[in-house]
């Protein structure tokens, strides 16, 4: 049985001081249910996740105590990917007909504040100043630029595109386009990445209604089909965050293994993709993920960005809603926002940022610590 997405809902990312994380999740669910023309009582199951916003299954206090199976999912930044993967299996297996996927969050301002013990590390690692995700992102792209000839100009181009796309997206957090000079001159955070090259922790919620494809038209005139949903964790040698040491050989990242499996299962290749969402925690991530997901060779990003190939009117539009850079990252919801945007694009409902030519096949890629990737391939 194939799987369809028949309802999408977003509580805009950013800051909503008047609402808790759970309330933002509930708002996203109500919006997705309305989009699908159904109600919460019709939901047979739910998978949901939040890092700092509370237990996802507490949403039933706001949405109704209907007795449905509600499973909490926790996979860091890849929580949305894991939740959708679980829902995909629940429908695919024939166990359920229709259900809900939801993610939401409400993080404190500033960088995340991880504790060494939660990561299997001793206190010295944090106390001596090595426990910062920003350092890892800086070091990974620094080596990548050295190995593959990526310039600082390319980093700036990715940030420019993100805020430009954000300015076309009514639900984005950062809706103001930034000039080359503004990005170029921003304060340095972690060489070679500056303030405008990183996304920020944020708040928000996102939800999807998924069902058996043969009943999809009962809910929505334009169902989007989820061809495959794959999640992989890291192999030995993958260069990941919070690693006091790395093995001699650098292995393929979990993005490579998830992407390869997803293309194989969906029976399509990178050149078939019309619009993509790639995890852009910072600009270097988007650049590396273009190659790790198979869209170009390592190093070709330099030319792709110079040509505008990933712009909304380019040959592979990437992060058309401004991605994490313009939307911020409420960890539990972020991966689902990517799927939301691809659904809007494939339905032809993306407004000013709509990709021309009726895109048929979309792709989402979420990546999170400590080395987990989720890839979805969707079609109209």
Partner 1 sequence: MSEAKPLHEGLFNWPDPAAGLIGSRCLDCGEHAFPAQSSCRACSGQNTVPANLGSEGTLWTWTIQSFMPKAPYDTDETPETFTPYGVGYIELACGLKVESRLRENTPEQLRIGMPMTMELITVRQNGDGEELLTFQFCAAKESH
The footprint of partner 1 (CB under 8 A) covers 110-111, 113, 115-116, 122-124, 126-132, 135, 138-140, 142-143, 146, 187-192, 236, 243-248
Give yes or no for a contact between 73 and 79, defined as CB atoms under 8 angstroms apart.
yes
Closest residue by Cα to residue 335 from 174, 180, 104, 120: 104
Rounded to an integer, what distance in angstroms lies between the CA atom of residue 101 and that of residue 85? Answer: 10
CB of 354: closest distance to partner 1 in angstroms? 38
Distance CA 317, CA 277 (A): 8
Nearer to partner 1, 131 or 262 (CB): 131
CB of 333 to partner 1, least distance (A): 24
How far from 48 is each of 134, 267, 312, 339, 361, CA to CA, in Å?
27, 28, 31, 15, 26
Residue whose CB is less far from partner 1, 115 or 222: 115
Nearer Cβ to partner 1, position 65 or 108? 108
- In the complex with partner 1, the residue whose CB is nearer, 1 or 188, is 188
Shortest CB 183 distance to partner 1, Å: 17
CA geometry: angle at 313 spanning 326 and 141, to 5°?
50
Q: How many CA atoms lie within 13 A of 141 on its CB side?
A: 28
- Name which of 141 and 333 has its Cβ closer to partner 1: 141
- What residues pair up with 286 in beta bridges, in sequence order? none
At its nearest, how many Å lie between partner 1 and the CB of residue 201? 13
Least separation in angstroms between residue 143's CB and partner 1 is 4
C-beta of 93 vs 128, nearer to partner 1: 128
How far is residue 190's CA from residue 232's CA, in Å, rounded to a whole number?
28
Least Å distance, CB 301 to partner 1, is: 18
d(CA 371, CA 238): 8
């Amino acid at each position: 049985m194939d799987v369809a997405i028949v309802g999408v809902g977003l509580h805009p990312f950013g800051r909503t001081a008047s609402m808790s994380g759970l309330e933002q999740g509930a708002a996203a669910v109500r919006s997705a249910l309305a989009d699908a023309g159904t109600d919460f009582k019709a939901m047979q199951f739910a998978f949901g996740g939040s890092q700092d916003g509370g237990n996802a299954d507490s949403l039933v206090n706001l949405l109704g105590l209907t007795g449905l199976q509600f499973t909490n999912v926790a996979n860091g930044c890849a929580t949305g990917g894991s939740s959708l993967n679980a829902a995909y299996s629940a429908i695919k297996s024939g166990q359920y007909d229709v259900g809900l996927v939801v993610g939401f969050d409400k993080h404190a301002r500033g960088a995340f504040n991880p504790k060494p013990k939660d990561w299997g590390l001793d206190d010295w690692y944090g106390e001596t100043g090595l426990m910062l995700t920003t350092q890892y992102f800086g070091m990974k792209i620094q080596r990548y630029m050295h190995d593959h000839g990526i310039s600082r100009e390319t980093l700036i181009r990715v940030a420019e595109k993100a805020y430009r796309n954000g300015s076309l997206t009514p639900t984005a957090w950062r809706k103001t386009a930034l000039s080359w000079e503004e990005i170029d001159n921003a304060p340095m955070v972690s060489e070679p990445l500056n303030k405008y090259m990183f996304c920020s922790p944020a708040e928000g919620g996102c939800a999807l209604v998924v069902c058996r494809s043969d009943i999809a038209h009962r809910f929505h005139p334009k169902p989007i089909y989820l061809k495959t949903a794959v999640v992989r964790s890291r192999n030995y040698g993958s260069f990941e965050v919070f690693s006091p040491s790395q093995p001699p050989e650098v292995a393929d990242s979990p993005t490579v293994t998830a992407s390869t499996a997803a293309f194989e299962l969906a029976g399509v290749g990178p050149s078939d993709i019309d619009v993509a969402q790639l995890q852009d925690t910072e600009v270097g991530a988007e650049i590396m993920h273009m190659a790790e997901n198979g869209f170009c060779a390592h190093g070709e990003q330099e030319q792709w960005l110079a040509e505008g190939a990933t712009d909304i009117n380019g040959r592979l539009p990437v992060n058309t809603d401004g991605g994490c850079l313009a939307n911020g990252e409420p960890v539990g919801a972020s991966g689902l926002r990517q799927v939301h945007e691809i659904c809007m694009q494939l339905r032809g409902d993306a407004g000013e940022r709509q990709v021309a030519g009726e895109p048929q096949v979309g792709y989402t890629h979420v990546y999170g610590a400590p080395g987990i990737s989720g890839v979805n391939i969707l079609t109209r």
